[in-house]
Amino acid sequence: MKRLVIAALVCATPAFAATPDSWAALDRDARAVCGKEIARQAAKAKVTGVRGKVSGIGIGRESDRHYGLILTGTTAGFRSEWLCLYDKRAKTAAAREVEK
C-alpha cells in the first residue's frame, strides 16, 4: 500500500520545464564564465559572439551537468573560435581554441 501511495504521488507531481528566462540566465552565466576562462588563457582574446550551443553534455547520471558553447571572436586581431564547456553545478568552465 505504501508503494502504491508513493507511486501515485510521483505520477501526480508535475514536470518542470525550463522557462525562457532560465535559459537566458544560463546563457548569460555560461558566456560570462567562458569569457573569463578564455581571457585567462589568452590576454588578447576578445569574445564577440556565440556560434552554437549544446545542452545536456555528459554520460549517465551526469548527462545534464554541462552546457557547451562555441564562441567567436578575435585573438591579437585574428579570427578565433573556442569550444567552452560550462559546468552548471560548479559554475566553472573549460575552454579551448578550435583549430580550423
Q: Answer yes or no: are the C-beta atoms of 67 and 89 closer than 8 Å.
A: no
Say yes or no to pLDDT of 12 above 80: no
SS3 99: coil
Mean pLDDT of the chain: 83
Residue 35: inside a domain: yes
Q: Which domain holds residue 84?
A: 19-97
Residue 7 maps to a domain: no
**Residue 1 within any structural domain of the chain:** no
Q: With respect to residue 2, please indicate whether it lies within any of the assigned structural domains.
A: no
Band (pLDDT 50/70/90 cuts) for residue 60 is: low
Predicted local distance difference test score (pLDDT) of residue 9: 41
| Residue 10 belongs to some domain of the structure | no
In a domain, 9, yes or no: no
Q: Which residue has the higher pLDDT, 10 or 68?
A: 68
Q: How many helices (H) and strands (E) does the chain have?
A: 2, 4
Tally of domains within the chain: 1
Q: Which amino acid is at 44?
A: K
Q: How far is CA 91 from CA 2, 84, 100, in A?
A: 39, 12, 28
Q: What integer is the mean pLDDT of 78-83?
A: 95
In this prediction, residue 55 carries a pLDDT of: 79
Determine, yes or no, domain membership for 33: yes
